[in-house]
Structure 1
Amino acid sequence: MHMALPRRFLIASAASLTAIVALASPAFAHANASAKAEQAGRTAITVSIEHGCNGNPVTGVRVALPSGATAVTGTNSGAWTSTVSATEISWTGGSMPANSSADFDFSLVLAQPAGETVTLPTIQTCTNNTEIAWIQAAGGEKSEATQPAPKIVVPANNTSAAPATTAVAAAGGSSTTAVARMATESNAVTDAGSETNASGRYVFLGVCAVIVIGAGVLFLKYRKHPTKS
């Protein structure tokens, strides 16, 4: 009889730890980027956003363009519409659930040589006036592991000429690629970005610590004073 309570306690503790791990996964996920070579010296880039802002859906994404980038084109997907300015490319008009992920594609001609690492500072904006700034670089004042900017390695590009014509997506298609319209305003993606995600992470870690400590205290209590049958 005296083992019933500890067994139930251990089962509850295991369930709690499972929930903590599940919640921790999005909290520590980062924005990522990948690149591949295209024709005529172009590079296709995908920026992946892996979660919302502390439970808030994503409503916009801004990516700073590398120095010297030219011929930037964006991919409009679903309700997301791309916009290009002199310093960045952005997507608005769509919505990504907080517990989901989405890819944002664009292509350009990079000035950097093949093999060089290029950083793409990115800011995701969300509902309730929240945002996450993925802008930190290695060697900066803040740890790169907190909110690092996505990075790519410039691929060895195919310098052959692009086809004379490009197929146009059928009407009603889910994705259309076109030269994005110029932005009417341009606020550079810089270190002035939000600390929302960092502060939320600290709160989350504090809650986890309280849960773990409380579980340990209860375990020791019932281990020392088992219920008598």
Structure 2
Amino acid sequence: MTFTGRPRSSYARLVARSAAVLGLSALLCVSGAHGASAHVLLETAAPNGDGTTTLTFSFEHGCDGQPTTALDVSLPDGVEAISTTQPDGWSSTQDGASVRWSGTPVEDGTPARFELVATITGDVGQAFVFPTTQTCTEGSTDWVDVDPSAAHPAPSFVATSATLVPRPAQPVASAGGGASLSQTLAVVGASTLVAAATGTWWVRRRRR
């Protein structure tokens, strides 16, 4: 294929420059992905089909390279903890508003996952945010930012109908809004009185 209008040497420089740009872009994408994996994440929110949802929190890093010894997760309104699962050597405690996992130090670079079975009450499309503190052998990191693009985003997920506790069915009102029992009895009573009065009037008229 012959290119005209641009010297071959200029075309070669263009190809080299394009390749360098693509390489830099790929490097930035990998760096971004690696940076994201450094967060404490709410990896999955899996409905169990019984009105509960299993939330899986995960990390694969420590605090500036230090091993992780504890994870404290605050529960937002509408989330009630039922049970937990954790790695071997770890245990959990619950106080209603939060869940704390602690145990054998997890070395920096080692993935770890923690499951929380919970009931979730709210609206479809609602964002649930879980401010979290990661404690290490030296220091700690607070993952509390509501903005997912911030430096220390809190684990979060957006609710679907499958992850929420089913709402009780609402009674269906009639087109006219329905009538209460007292209203119905009043109508029946009035109708009876009208019928009685009409019968009395008819009897009196025939006697005349």
TM-score range, shorter chain: 0.5 to 0.7
Code of the residue aligned with 1:157 in structure 2: it is: A
Aligned residue for 1:69?
79
Q: Which of 133, 144, 150 is the equivalent residue of 2:155?
A: 150
1:131 aligns with 2:136: no
How far the C-alpha of 1:69 sits from its partner, in A, is: 2.2
Q: Does 1:82 align with 2:87?
A: no
Size of the aligned set, in residue pairs, is: 135
Give the ranges of 4+ consecutive aligned residues of structure 1 lying more than 6 Å apart after TM superposition: none
1:105–1:113 CA distance, 2 compared to 1 (3 A):
same
Unaligned runs of at least 5 residues, structure 2? 1-26, 167-208
TM-score norm. by structure 2 comes to 0.57
Residues in 1 aligned to 2:63 and 2:36: alpha-carbon distance in whole angstroms: 9
- Which of 24, 38, 48 is the aligned partner of 1:29? 38
Give the number of the structure whose alpha-carbon radius of gyration is greater.
2
> Quick check: 1:26–1:99 contact (8 Å CA) kept in 2?
no
In the alignment, residue 89 of structure 2 is paired with which amino acid?
A
Query: Root-mean-square deviation (CA), in Å?
Result: 2.7
Q: 2:151 is matched by which residue type in structure 1?
A: T
Cα deviation, residue 71, structure 1: 4.6
What are the within-5 Å matches in structure 2 for residues 179-218 of structure 1? none
- Hey, what's the Cα distance between the residues in 2 that align with 1:136 and 1:72? 26
Summarize deviations over 1:154-192 as a string: whole Å, max 9, x none: 2333779xxxxxxxxxxxxxxxxxxxxxxxxxxxxxxxx
1:85-106, Cα deviation, whole Å (9 max, x unpaired): 1210110122210122211111
Q: Flag the 1:56–1:80 CA change in 2: closer, same or farther, 3 A.
A: same
TM-score normalised to structure 1 length: 0.53
Q: CA deviation at 1:52?
A: 0.3
Of Structure 1 and Structure 2, the greater helix share is in 2
- Structure 1: tracts of 5 or more residues without a match: 1-17, 161-229
> Aligned partners of 1:72 and 1:98: how far apart in 2?
29
**Percent of pairs with identical residues:** 32
Higher relative contact order (CA 8 A, sep 6+): 1
> Aligned partners of 1:122, 1:87: CA distance in 2, in Å?
12
Q: Describe the shift of the 1:113–1:29 C-alpha distance in structure 2 as closer, same or farther (beyond 3 A).
A: same
The answer to whether structure 1 residue 91 and structure 2 residue 96 are counterparts is no
1:116 alignment counterpart: 126
SS at match of 1:147: coil
Whole-angstrom CA distance in 1 between matches of 2:35 and 2:80: 34
Contact kept? 2:73, 2:133, Cα under 8 Å:
yes
Cα distance between partner residues in 2 of 1:77 and 1:152 = 23
